Structure 1
């Protein structure tokens, strides 16, 4: 779990996840010039979770769109696991659903890639000082989305892979069988299920199966 480090707030240890090598290199250079330490640079969500577990960074920077598990899913998995390491999302844009999920999982910062150089450094300074760095425009977008009537489909808030897992649960498959069908480990299935339970406010797979099988 996250433990604040001693020292100046602008000297943070960072795990950076982005599937584009050029972006990883450019962002790393900017952050190192600003005095931050790059604990690890990785290319996808699973590598990001492994790097967070290994390095225990002060801050995690996640690209939203990555192959496999995306930045929102990594944030959700960390939140479900009780990991309070501050997360900053680096993105070209967010859907309403992604924004709501990010805020629900206590994202600490959101920075758009367009013009990110100065904004990212400013964001990290705010996050390291314990503040949230999210544009008011995005907060207004989230408020407008939260005031909409609930969707008819209770599974609409789930990410595509979470919906796939929910479907397998509805068919009665066990975690190992789901993992075999999707080409992922049984442990990864459990992480996804915890995220699903949190999003749908469920206690167990029986409740999930009932929702999936409901007409």
Structure 2
């Protein structure tokens, strides 16, 4: 069971979140309606995970994420978004975002995302992640993109790896053999000059901090 601090400024959405979590193994230990209050309440409440609305008054979810990482706070952060630009998602991933759920899909995806994040994996809405990966292929994104040397298939593998999927699961997602995934990973490591999945994740998610 995880202790969760929720930051959401819309009362109806907040009630929906609380209802969803009440049927899970996770516990809501506090709620706030803006990013500044979240940062203020964290020391006393000591949450295991922060579930934050991206678009809030005073400080957005992205602002809070950036502040936490600058402080060296590595606890998991999951963002809820109704409309978040792909560039902002890309920035959040670079800052080490652990999860992202589209509000319209929250009844289906929120618990799945939280379970994955508490298990040590990253969970990002698939459609959003695909758009962000496509953005990184564009000339604008490639200028500062650490994955610029990779092919589209290799980028897809990195995206799934960042969600915490194993080689067999990546193979299933892409409809290829597990051995093919291993070959792609070897080529990715060679192109990017990394030696492990952890180094690859750090390069992809934290480059540009």
TM range (shorter): 0.5 to 0.7
Partner of 1:143: 133
Residues 89, 132 of structure 2: 8 Å contact kept: yes
Partner of 1:47: 37
Alpha-carbon offset, residue 105 of structure 1: 1.1
Partner of 1:70: 60
Alpha-carbon offset, residue 43 of structure 1: 0.1
C-alpha distance after superposition, 1:56-110 (max 9, x if no partner): 2111100011111111111111111111110111111220221111101111111
Partner of 2:153: none
Matched pairs, number: 146
Unaligned 5+ segments in structure 1 are 1-10, 152-197, 202-215
Partner of 1:4: none
CA separation in 2, counterparts of 1:101 and 1:53?
26
Alpha-carbon offset, residue 21 of structure 1: 1.4
1:42-191 paired onto structure 2 within 5 Å: 42-150=32-140
CA separation in 2, counterparts of 1:34 and 1:120?
10
Alpha-carbon offset, residue 148 of structure 1: 3.2
Partner of 2:20: 30
Partner of 1:187: none
Compute the RMSD of aligned alpha carbons.
Answer: 2.1
Residues 6, 51 of structure 2: 8 Å contact kept: yes
Change (3 A) 1:140 1:121: same
TM-score, normalised by the number of residues in structure 2: 0.64
CA separation in 1, counterparts of 2:207 and 2:108?
34
CA separation in 1, counterparts of 2:48 and 2:102?
21
- What is the SS of the residue equivalent to 1:115? helix
CA separation in 2, counterparts of 1:27 and 1:135?
17
Unaligned 5+ segments in structure 2 are 142-205
TM-score, normalised by the number of residues in structure 1: 0.62
- Which structure: greater helix fraction? 2
- What is the SS of the residue equivalent to 1:16? strand
Change (3 A) 1:143 1:118: closer
